Amino acid sequence: MPLSKEESLEGGASLITDQSNCPFRAFAKNRLKLEPEPSLETGLSKMARGTALHIALEHLFERINSSDELKTADLDMFTGYASTKAIEHLAKHFRDIMTPQFQLIEKQRIKELLHKFIEVEKNRPPFNIIVREQPLSQNYENLLLKVRIDRIDRVENDSAILIDYKTGKYTISTHNWMDDRPEDMQLPLYYTMATSNNFEQVNSVTIAHVNAEKIGYSGIAKTESFSPRD
């Protein structure tokens, strides 16, 4: 059902994904505000761990501007700082769970993942980071979309790569983006909004997988300027 002239709607990529998957569920969730009962989890949830790792990646790459710096920086100090920031977030929001001993365990886990990701990043062709945690918004009549792009890198020939960190084990296949009704519209929407907001030419849309089972990339690229393995 189209929005009426009196209606307005605001959301992020999940709103477009919901509509692509099932318009009825999208209407129930985003306009009627109906939500299923949340599942019960004990201990630190996957979402909480993912948020913490995302915070660590954000702080890590605040201090690293290029592939050259990645090879010369004091990475142990940087990963230690980034993982500390992640633990501070968890300790603030999950005080009952984050005992001193558990904080040490989680910090070590995050730090090891950061080091593994850095080793993969080092194997990429030269790059410079030009965008970090960039908020974007765009109006489509009375629909307002808001997103936050994790990172954009500049590579050879002044082309750009849009990177989204994924800390979970399950992600949609990038081939799905070419379907008539993709299951996940996040990265296609990011690409559309980045290019329409006058960012440099984006030649690659890439997921950076950072979890215990997979450290690496998947995505769609016009050239091999991101990684010969893409």
- Give the whole-angstrom CA distance, residue 174 versus residue 165: 14
Kindly state the percentage of the chain with pLDDT values over 90.
54
Is the pLDDT higher at 228 or at 112? 112
* 52-69 tens-digit pLDDT: 999 999 999 999 999 999
* Cβ atoms of 120 and 215 closer than 8 Å: yes
Looking at residues 145-170, what average pLDDT do you find?
Answer: 91
pLDDT at residue 225 in the model: 52
- Give the whole-angstrom CA distance, residue 142 versus residue 5: 8
Q: Which residue matches tokens 């994904």?
A: 17
Angle formed by the axes of helices 75-93 and 100-122, to 10°? 140
**Average pLDDT score over the chain:** 88
3-state secondary structure at position 220: strand
pLDDT at residue 228 in the model: 44
- Give the whole-angstrom CA distance, residue 82 versus residue 44: 19
pLDDT at residue 226 in the model: 58
* Cβ atoms of 167 and 211 closer than 8 Å: yes
- Residue 171: pLDDT band by 50, 70, 90 thresholds? confident
Q: Which of 170-184, 189-203, 207-221 has the highest mean pLDDT?
A: 207-221
Kindly state the percentage of the chain with pLDDT values over 70.
93
Question: Phi and psi dihedrals of 129, rounded to 5?
Answer: -85, 120
pTM: 0.87
pLDDT at residue 64 in the model: 94
Whether residue 150 is predicted with pLDDT greater than 50 in this model: the reply is: yes
- Residue 172: pLDDT band by 50, 70, 90 thresholds? confident
Whether residue 189 is predicted with pLDDT greater than 70 in this model: the reply is: yes
3-state secondary structure at position 145: strand
What are the tokens at 214? Answer: 């997979």
Whether residue 100 is predicted with pLDDT greater than 90 in this model: the reply is: yes
Whether residue 28 is predicted with pLDDT greater than 60 in this model: the reply is: yes
Least confident of 21-35, 141-155, 179-193: 21-35
* Cβ atoms of 197 and 155 closer than 8 Å: no
Q: Pseudo-torsion of CA 118, 122, 128, 129, nearest 10°?
A: -20
- Residue 166: pLDDT band by 50, 70, 90 thresholds? very high
Whether residue 202 is predicted with pLDDT greater than 80 in this model: the reply is: yes
Full DSSP string of 115-141: HHHHHHHHTSPP-EEEEEEEEEEEEET
* Rg of the chain in Å (alpha carbons): 19
- Give the whole-angstrom CA distance, residue 61 versus residue 165: 12
- Give the whole-angstrom CA distance, residue 34 versus residue 57: 33
From residue 36, alpha-carbon distances to 31, 64, 72, 110, 163 in Å are: 14, 41, 49, 31, 31
Phi-psi group of 43: left, alpha or beta (phi > 0 → left; psi -120 to 50 → alpha; rest → beta): left
Whether residue 23 is predicted with pLDDT greater than 90 in this model: the reply is: no
Whether residue 161 is predicted with pLDDT greater than 70 in this model: the reply is: yes
Looking at residues 188-208, what average pLDDT do you find?
Answer: 86
